[in-house]
Structure 1
Amino acid sequence: MPPYTIIYFPSRGHCEVMRMLLADQGQSWKEEVVTLDVWEQGTFKASCLFGQIPKFQDGKLTLYQSNAILRHLGHSFGLYGKDQQEAALVDMVNDGLEDVFRRIAWHYLHICISFADYRLLDLLLNLELLFPGYLKDFPLLSAYVARLKARPKLKAFLESPEHVNRLLAACIKM
């Protein structure tokens, strides 16, 4: 029996990163699926620390909170940097990504815009130029990009020759 158990909804959500890490490290794990019906009944939810899942078991150790689980796995498999300084940098990048995804999720639920949206849109559109089709695997990001690109004035700019014909990056000799 595998030492790892992932208890989560029947979706990728917060657990897909854990699954990818475990798979890449040649580990097997057991899945316990929590249906929405079971979750809404409240008994299982009440048994979870913070009233949340994912819940992760590594032998006798039970963890909640996806980032705590990822840090544990990172330590377990030597994926947390070679020293405290590198670990701090890994934490910084992970926390930054968490902020980005929270922001995207917030925008998915609330239609509002800030200057940070233009920066994120620019990043995502540039990545799409470099790696065509990458957004198809990220439905929330795809919806976010589509929603912003549908704004009439922004749409007109993005379709204009001034934007379309502009180089992605300039090569400058120093």
Structure 2
Amino acid sequence: MADFSSESVQAMHMLLVDQDLSWKEEAVTKETWPQGPLKASCLYRQLPKFQNGDLTLYQSNAILRHLQEAALVDVVNDIDYLHCRYITLIYTNYETSKEDNMKNLPEHLRASETLLSQNQGSQASIMGNQISFVDYNLLDMLLNHQVLTPSCLDSFSLLSANVACLSTWPKLKAFLASPKYVNLLINDNGKQ
């Protein structure tokens, strides 16, 4: 069973779909979360919560690491700074700071472009030879940033190629075209 919030779920969905893993998801709404027993059962009183038999995990990246069994890529997972910047933008001073944040985005994308340039020519993977949870996190963040600023990857040929390559993988392509993905706001406050 997995319970997810919309901010953290898409990278997990991408990994699960692309790796042919089945799962059961229980939707939690803002109305049911405070009253239900789920909140009391969650460590840190936060979602996502992942259960697989006797194993229960919390926190998005911990769940992704478990699903991928690739803890060694933690070194590369500093891509999380994109997620932190994005969350800060969406939930604090969105109206007044969107333009400045998007203007400064290129300097933050350069690190990911550099990682891709060091991966022995693979367009699909940060690690160069095998897709990992880091790639799903990066894809999710880049797609979200493209919603906010469609041209944000225009100066980043490797990141653009990465998004294009992964988005054409048959399972990911089907998922990204599905109503489950298309109709989901990229954040809970409706800002896009």
Q: TM-score, normalised by structure 2?
A: 0.50
Looking at structure 1, the residues matched to 75 and 51 of structure 2 have their Cα atoms a distance apart, in angstroms, of: 25
1:84 is matched with which residue?
Answer: none
Select which of 20, 23, 30 maps to 2:24.
30
Q: Is the 8 A contact 1:105 1:140 kept in 2?
A: no
In the TM superposition, what is the alpha-carbon distance from 1:119 to its structure 2 partner? Answer: 1.7
Alignment of 1:101-112 (within 5 A): 101-108=83-90, 109-110=92-93, 111-112=96-97
Identity %: 39
Alignment of 1:91-130 (within 5 A): 91-94=74-77, 96-108=78-90, 109-110=92-93, 111-112=96-97, 113=100, 116-120=104-108
Q: Supply the AA of the counterpart residue of 1:102.
A: C
4+ long deviations beyond 3 Å: 111-118, 120-123, 137-141
1:17 is matched with which residue?
Answer: 11
Alignment of 1:44-83 (within 5 A): 44-75=38-69, 80=70
Q: Is the 8 A contact 1:7 1:53 kept in 2?
A: yes
- The count of corresponding residues between Structure 1 and Structure 2 is 122
RMSD (CA atoms): 3.7
Q: Structure 1's 64 and 73: CA in aligned 2 closer, same or farther, altered over 3 A? A: same
2:3 is matched with which residue?
Answer: 7
Q: Structure 1's 91 and 19: CA in aligned 2 closer, same or farther, altered over 3 A? A: same
Higher-RCO chain (CA-CA 8 Å, sequence separation at least 6):
2
Q: Structure 1's 122 and 45: CA in aligned 2 closer, same or farther, altered over 3 A? A: same
In the TM superposition, what is the alpha-carbon distance from 1:74 to its structure 2 partner? Answer: 1.7
Looking at structure 2, the residues matched to 121 and 20 of structure 1 have their Cα atoms a distance apart, in angstroms, of: 21
Structure 2 gaps of 5+ residues are 112-138, 158-192
1:138 aligns with 2:138: no
Q: TM-score, normalised by structure 1?
A: 0.55
Q: Is the 8 A contact 1:38 1:44 kept in 2?
A: no
Return the index of the structure with the highest Cα Rg: 1
